[in-house]
Amino acid sequence: MNDQTPLRSGGRAARRAARAAPLADHLRPIRPGMSGGTYNPLSEQDVLRIHVAALDALENIGLADAPDSGVAYLTGAGAIQGEDGRIRFPRALVEDTIAKANRSLTLHARNPVHDLELSGSRVHYGTAGAAVHLVEANGRAYRECGVQDLHDAARICDVLDNIHFVQRPMVCRDISDNLEMDYNSIYACVSGTTKHVGTSFSEPQHVARSMELLHMIAGGEDKWRERPFVSNSNCFVVPPMKFATESCLVMEECIKYGMPVLLLSAGMSGATAPSTIAGAIVQAVAECLAGLVYVNAVKPGAPAIFGTWPFGLDLRTGAMTGGSGEQALLTAGCAQMHRFYDLPGGAAAGIADSKLPDMQAGWEQMCSNVMAGLAGLNMVYEAAGMHASLLGFCHESLIMGDDIIGQALRCVRGIEVNDETLALDQMADVTMNGPGHYLGTGQTLSRMQTDCVYPKMGDRTSPKEWAELDKPDLVAKATARKEEILADRPAASLDPSLDAAIRAKFNIHLPQR
């Protein structure tokens, strides 16, 4: 039995202070990049059948509408353009590309402590989406979102332990010029967080102008290329099985500038993808394999994330069902395919169809977030804050979602079984020599922080304590936390001289603090 004397020295106050102190990263019960992969919704035979079906689709159906440059890249790599204009992919070409593609990818952050290592079944959670409304939780209302809302979301994400990256979750509806919207979205996010940022571009010619901004923030083009801390979320296909011409040109530009690319296939099951879960996964896999060939034809080894994002559909109404069990299975199945190919991958989870941060939102967000993590998804996009099937984003929900993801990550960590955790020595000592319970033992006290995840927003008080505390409301607590975060100067703020230089060169819409 461990000697408990050191734990008792200093009294209860000292022990509480020690427990309240931040743990070293290696001792934290949860952290970015923990390995999942214990949940496999597909059998080995299922995985192989999906793979073969995807190869059949690419070889026999192919994809339409590639831009001229894309046709040149793809046919130069060995793809075949038919008389119908469709690009078809011989099996050998696809399999060779898979074999040569990157098995791991580092998504850099402005602060290296937040770098993300994507490989195997390492799991990371973050935001994403293109919500056009901000959900005002207290007023139970929706309004158009703007650049300040996006910046505030990035600032909140920056202090949330379980949000590991910040892909732009909202569209700046208050900026009418698309070029200005594109670079202002980058500015709003990067000046709000030092974590990795994801963004998109409306048109290919907007990439160069935005790269000027990123080079300034990075300290030069060479510094940017060493550590590209922003990636491009690229909807390079318009399902079913068509290239999105403009987005493909954006992708080519991003590759040229050394920006990592998320190859995003987002078919709607029953509308733009087959209605069956297996069929929707086949199509998403086929489309992303085509994208992988495209990227490596432009630049072999260019950093790319295999972004199979099939979404569920309520076939009674045509409404998206991001919070459904079907969505959770779609995402987990895609994660298993990523592991089969041993490619860095991402998909969507944590979406709520509920309009507000309520009980429905809680069960919807938890279901798919847990399954995605257990399935070993490298990048879990849209994991917090998204409502109304991606139409609304809520700051309070983002803060509460940090708790949800914390519990999901604890599930990902799983159960450690070894001589210490089996605890036979504790059982013997407590039952035969000790007080008959484990409260206060050295083993319990020593592991209470390293084994357990404690909610920051969730309430675990007794009904009596809850009443004595004036029955605190969860959403109100999240609002108070939001206001506390936003009252402080952002830790990610740019140097004033750099910010002044940026504002002299770009029409920055975010007000100066």
pLDDT per residue as tens digits for the range 361-400: 999 999 999 999 999 999 999 999 999 999 999 999 999 9
Residue 72 token pair: 């040149």
Pick the CATH number of 96-413 from 3.40.50.11740, 3.40.50.2000, 2.40.440.10, 3.20.20.480: 3.20.20.480
In angstroms, rounded to a whole number, what is the distance separating the alpha carbons of residues 117 and 101? Answer: 16
Cβ(449)–Cβ(29) below 8 Å: yes
349-359 pLDDT per residue, tens = 999 999 999 99
Q: Give 77-120 as a DSSP string.
A: HT-EE-TTS-EE--HHHHHHHHHHS-SEEEE--SSGGG-EEEET
Q: Give me the pLDDT at residue 18, please.
A: 55
487-501 pLDDT per residue, tens = 999 999 999 999 999
Cβ(335)–Cβ(374) below 8 Å: no
Long-range contacts of 497-506 (CB under 8 A, 24+ apart): 498/216, 498/217, 499/191, 501/216, 502/187, 502/213, 502/216, 502/217, 505/212, 505/216, 506/183, 506/184, 506/187, 506/213
140-184 pLDDT per residue, tens = 999 999 999 999 999 999 999 999 999 999 999 999 999 999 999
66-94 pLDDT per residue, tens = 999 999 999 999 999 999 999 999 999 99
Q: Is the pLDDT of residue 27 over 90?
A: no
| pLDDT class of 5 with cuts at 50, 70, 90 | very low
Q: Is the pLDDT of residue 323 over 80?
A: yes
Mean pLDDT of 307-314: 96
Partners of residue 66 on adjacent β-strands: none
Q: How far apart are the first and last CA of the chain?
A: 56
Q: Is the pLDDT of residue 7 over 70?
A: no
